[in-house]
C-alpha cells in the first residue's frame, strides 16, 4: 500500500481546509478595516486639534466644476405630472403668493389640466345639447318621448292581444261579459273549491262571508261588479284581493261560477245581506 502523505499546510479534509481558508480571508479583511478605521480616527483627532483650511481657491474651483458635472440633470416632467400640473418641491418658492395668514403662505397652484378639459367639455356638451334639442329640434323632448312611448306601448298591446293565446289576459272589470259555458263553469268551480269555501261555504251558502246564492249583494251583483270584488277584494271585511295569485282569465272563470250559484238555494243558507239586484 501507498502511504498517504499530507502537507503541513493542509489537514487532508477538503471541507476543513475550505473553512480554514475562509477564516483566514475574513481575518485579513477585518485587519484591513481596522487599519482604515484607525486612520480615520487619527485624521479626525488631528483636524479637531489643529483644523486646516477647507480648500484653496484652485481647489474650490475644481470642486465647483466637479459639482456641476456630478449634479443630477433636471428631468423632464412626465405625462402624469403635466396632466396633473404637478410642481416639484424645489419650485414651491416660485409659486408662493404675497399674502400670509398666521405664518401660513398660500401657493398659486394652477388648476389641473384634466379638470380644465372636463370643465370646457361640459360647456361644449351643453351647447351641443341645446342646439340639438331646443334650437334645431333634431332630438325629441321628454314630452315627445313620452308620447312616442305611449304609441309604442299601444301598438305592442294590440299585437299582444291579437295572439289568441293571450286573449284571456285582456279580461278586466271593464270588458268582462256573461259566459255560462260548461267548460268555463267547471274551471270556476275548481277555483272556488280551493279558495272560497272557507268563507262562503261549499255551495255558496255563506259562513263568514255572505250568501252567494240569493239576490242580495253587498258590493254589486253584475258580472263587472263581482269580477271587481274578487279581483281587488274587500280588505276592511277580511276578503283578500285575488289579482296577485290568479290570472285575469281565472278571475273571469271564478266570477262566472259565482254568478251561476244564484238561485240554487242550498241547505243552511245564510240570511240575505246587502241590496237586492
Domains and CATH numbers, the chain: 78-139 (no CATH), 182-276 (1.10.760.10)
pLDDT tens digits for range 192-224: 998 899 989 899 898 988 999 899 898 988 999
Average pLDDT over residues 3-11: 53
pLDDT tens digits for range 24-51: 888 888 898 888 888 888 887 887 787 7
Instruction: Return the minimum-mean-pLDDT range out of 29-38, 66-75, 97-106, 152-161.
Output: 66-75
What was the pLDDT predicted at 260?
A: 92
Give yes or no for a contact between 236 and 190, defined as CB atoms under 8 angstroms apart: no
Q: Which of the four pLDDT bands, split at 50, 70 and 90, describes residue 164? A: low
pLDDT tens digits for range 90-103: 677 777 777 777 87
What was the pLDDT predicted at 191?
A: 93
Is the pLDDT score of 246 beyond 70? yes
Chain-wide mean pLDDT for the chain?
81
What was the pLDDT predicted at 8?
A: 58
What was the pLDDT predicted at 168?
A: 53
What was the pLDDT predicted at 112?
A: 77
Average pLDDT over residues 110-116: 79
Is the pLDDT score of 127 beyond 90? yes
- Provide φ and ψ at 136, rounded to 5°: -80, -25
Is the pLDDT score of 13 beyond 70? no
Average pLDDT over residues 139-168: 79
Neighbour tally for 259: CB within 10 Å: 19
Triad 147, 150, 151: Cα angle to 5°? 90
What was the pLDDT predicted at 5?
A: 47
Q: Which of the four pLDDT bands, split at 50, 70 and 90, describes residue 124? A: very high
What was the pLDDT predicted at 230?
A: 92
Average pLDDT over residues 2-19: 61
Is the pLDDT score of 1 beyond 70? no
Kindly tell me the burial class for residue 246, based on how many C-beta atoms sit within 10 Å of its own C-beta (0-12, 13-18, 19 or more).
Answer: middle
3-state SS of the chain is CCCCCCCCCCCCCHHHHHHHHHHHHHHHHHHHHHHHHHHHHHHHHHHHHCCCCCCCHHHHHHHHHHHHHHCCCCCCCCHHHHHHCCCCHHHHHHHEEEEEECCEEEECCCCCHHHHHHHHHHHHHHHHHHHHHHHCCCCCCHHHHHHHHHHHHHHHHHHHHCCHHHHHHHCCCCCCCCCCCHHHHHHHHHHHHHHCHHHHCCCCCCCCCCCCCCCEECCCCCHHHHHHHHHHCEHHHCECCCCCCCCHHHHHHHHHHHHHCCCCCCCCCCCCCCEEC
Amino acid at each position: 500500500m501507498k502511504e498517504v502523505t499530507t502537507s503541513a499546510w493542509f489537514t487532508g479534509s477538503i471541507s476543513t481546509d475550505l473553512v480554514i481558508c475562509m477564516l483566514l480571508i475574513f481575518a485579513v479583511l477585518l485587519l484591513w478595516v481596522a487599519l482604515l478605521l484607525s486612520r480615520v480616527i487619527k485624521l479626525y483627532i488631528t483636524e479637531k486639534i489643529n483644523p486646516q483650511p477647507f480648500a484653496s481657491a484652485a481647489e474650490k474651483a475644481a470642486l465647483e466644476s466637479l459639482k456641476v458635472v456630478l449634479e443630477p440633470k433636471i428631468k423632464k416632467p412626465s405625462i402624469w405630472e403635466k396632466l396633473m400640473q404637478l410642481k416639484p418641491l424645489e419650485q414651491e418658492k416660485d409659486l408662493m403668493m404675497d399674502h400670509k395668514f398666521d405664518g401660513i403662505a398660500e401657493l398659486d397652484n394652477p388648476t389641473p389640466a384634466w379638470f380644465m378639459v372636463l370643465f370646457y367639455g361640459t360647456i361644449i356638451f351643453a351647447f351641443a345639447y341645446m342646439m340639438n334639442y331646443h334650437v334645431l329640434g333634431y332630438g325629441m323632448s321628454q314630452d315627445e318621448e313620452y308620447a312616442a312611448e305611449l304609441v309604442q306601448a299601444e301598438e305592442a298591446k294590440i299585437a299582444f292581444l291579437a295572439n289568441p293565446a293571450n286573449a284571456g289576459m285582456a279580461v278586466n272589470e271593464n270588458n268582462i261579459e256573461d259566459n255560462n259555458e260548461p267548460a268555463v263553469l267547471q274551471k270556476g268551480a275548481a277555483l272556488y273549491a280551493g279558495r272560497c269555501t272557507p268563507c262562503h261555504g261549499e255551495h255558496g251558502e255563506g259562513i263568514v262571508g255572505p250568501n252567494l246564492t240569493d239576490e242580495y249583494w253587498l258590493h254589486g251583483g253584475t258580472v263587472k261588479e263581482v269580477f271587481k270584488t274578487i279581483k281587488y277584494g274587500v280588505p276592511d271585511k277580511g276578503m283578500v284581493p285575488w289579482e296577485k295569485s290568479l290570472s285575469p282569465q281565472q278571475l273571469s272563470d271564478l266570477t262566472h261560477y259565482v254568478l251561476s250559484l244564484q238561485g240554487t238555494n242550498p241547505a243552511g243558507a245564510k240570511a240575505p245581506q246587502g241590496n237586492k239586484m
